[in-house]
Chains A and B, each alone.
Chain A
């Protein structure tokens, strides 16, 4: 009970730190003028080439680009001085469709994107969460290897016990019932997907330095996850699964001469992972935007006088705390939903021919 309170307090502290961080950054972008809430939120939701800490302080990240005529180049993002300076022909676009991205001028003088493999904020957050996840799971696995000999198995306590409960709940409540009888083949992928998404969701909610990136709210990340599910579903699909797509049990005129149903089914193959991609992306993005928007209330109401501003600040903090709690729930639910739907799709692709032709 006591330790639970401690964690809640820690979370609240983290949120307040987030508020002050944002306040500082808001102050810096504002520069006395009107605060552009939309740009502020979009900048925080999007990727960036350095990891902003507070005010003018940020952690520079490596930039890896291949320009049209300058070849591969690796340098630190601090060379851009927050996008104000050009470096080796590259600069960060301040407006236009490439706003906030590294661009260069081609021979015709147009702004073009180079090949950009920079370790951006999101890429760094991804690598960090991968390391955290691998460390946690492998340490748990090592505990089992050490303590769980076949003739003298032990019951894990503490963190390992918690992880065991977590992993086995995903395994037994999502993977096993949704995939069906050969779930063991797909359990490693689905468990990895679940914990990868969950770790990134949670780490995205912690607003202090090495965390707080909007990783699972980035469409590139969810796209890769969806592509993995797409390949898992279709590569391991059974013969019956493909038969049902290409020659479904419908009246013949629906599939010949115009293959109406097969076309619908084939479109369905792609819409399923597409829905997975958009769902995770949109949910996490929305969560981050709501939190940011509520925090921005503090700065938006500055011009409305002290009374309104202070009362709105209190409201903003309370609402932010509430939304953060909801977001913790959403972090779990979205990981759960992604894993469950992936498991269901995999299970549907494992159909056996049903001999129900009376």
Chain B
């Protein structure tokens, strides 16, 4: 009795299983499995992307470190340059100042020299004039008489004679 399939139940089973199969095979399981596959793919992709990003991050870090190092060396170089430039400029300025000063000094010295010579000349002239005057006065006083004049001449001649002999 139990081993004999009933036509009615066969029919209902065929109908219900057929409908269930049709609906689930069309709208049920493929949707779910496809979505899960999609998600797995997405996860895989995300993992790859994360790995890539990590790698890039490491690269960036390396790059930035390299950049910092180069910047630092650049900085040192620039500082050195600045230092050099400064000393050079200072030296140049000093040099210039010195030459300038020297030039001025020379000029001043020359001026002084000139003025000194001028002054000496002046003094000499004045001394000459003074002595001529004095001599004039002295002579004027001493050679008032003929006798005196003769005496003078004699003495001068004697002197000249003495000096010649």
Instruction: Give A contacts to B, CB under 8 Å.
Output: 42, 45-47, 64, 97, 99, 101, 115-120, 122-123, 126-127, 130, 133-134, 137-138, 140-141, 144-145, 148, 150-151, 153, 155, 163-164, 167-168, 171, 187-189, 191-192, 195-196, 218-221, 223-225, 228, 285
Q: How far, in whole Å, are A46 and B39 apart by their CA atoms in the complex?
A: 46
Bits for B2-36, please: 1 = Cβ < 8 Å to A, else 0: 11111111111110110111011101111111011
Q: How far, in whole Å, are A171 and B8 apart by their CA atoms in the complex?
A: 33
Bits for B138-160, please: 1 = Cβ < 8 Å to A, else 0: 00000000000000000000000
Chain A residue contacts of B16, Cβ below 8 A:
123, 126-127, 130
Determine which residue in B6, B14, B21, B36 has the highest number of CB atoms from chain A within 10 A of its CB, and name it: B6
Determine which residue in A97, A137, A145 has the highest number of CB atoms from chain B within 10 A of its CB, and name it: A137
A117 pairs with B11, CB closer than 8 A: yes
Q: Can you list 25 A-B pairs, Cβ within 8 angstroms, ordered by A?
A: A42-B1, A117-B12, A120-B8, A123-B16, A126-B12, A134-B28, A138-B28, A144-B31, A144-B35, A144-B36, A145-B31, A153-B42, A171-B29, A187-B33, A188-B21, A188-B25, A192-B20, A192-B24, A192-B28, A218-B2, A218-B9, A219-B2, A219-B5, A220-B6, A223-B10
Q: How far is the CB of A136 from chain B (nearest CB, A)?
A: 9
Residue of A nearest to B6 (CB): A220
Contacts A148-B38, A224-B17 given; does A46 touch B2 at CB 8 Å: yes
- Which of A141, A196, A285 lies in contact with B27, CB distance below 8 A? A141
Q: How far, in whole Å, are A123 and B5 apart by their CA atoms in the complex?
A: 13
Q: How far is the CB of B126 from chain A (nearest CB, A)?
A: 116
B23 pairs with A138, CB closer than 8 A: yes
Residue of B nearest to A285 (CB): B2
Chain B residue contacts of A218, Cβ below 8 A:
2, 5, 9
Chain B contact residues, majority secondary structure: helix
**How many chain-B residues does the 8 Å CB contact rule pick out?**
35
Q: How far is the CB of B18 from chain A (nearest CB, A)?
A: 9
Contacts A220-B10, A224-B14 given; does A133 touch B24 at CB 8 Å: yes
Chain A residue contacts of B42, Cβ below 8 A:
150-151, 153
Contacts A148-B39, A164-B36, A168-B36 given; does A188 touch B9 at CB 8 Å: no
Chain B residue contacts of A47, Cβ below 8 A:
6, 9
Q: How far is the CB of B15 from chain A (nearest CB, A)?
A: 9
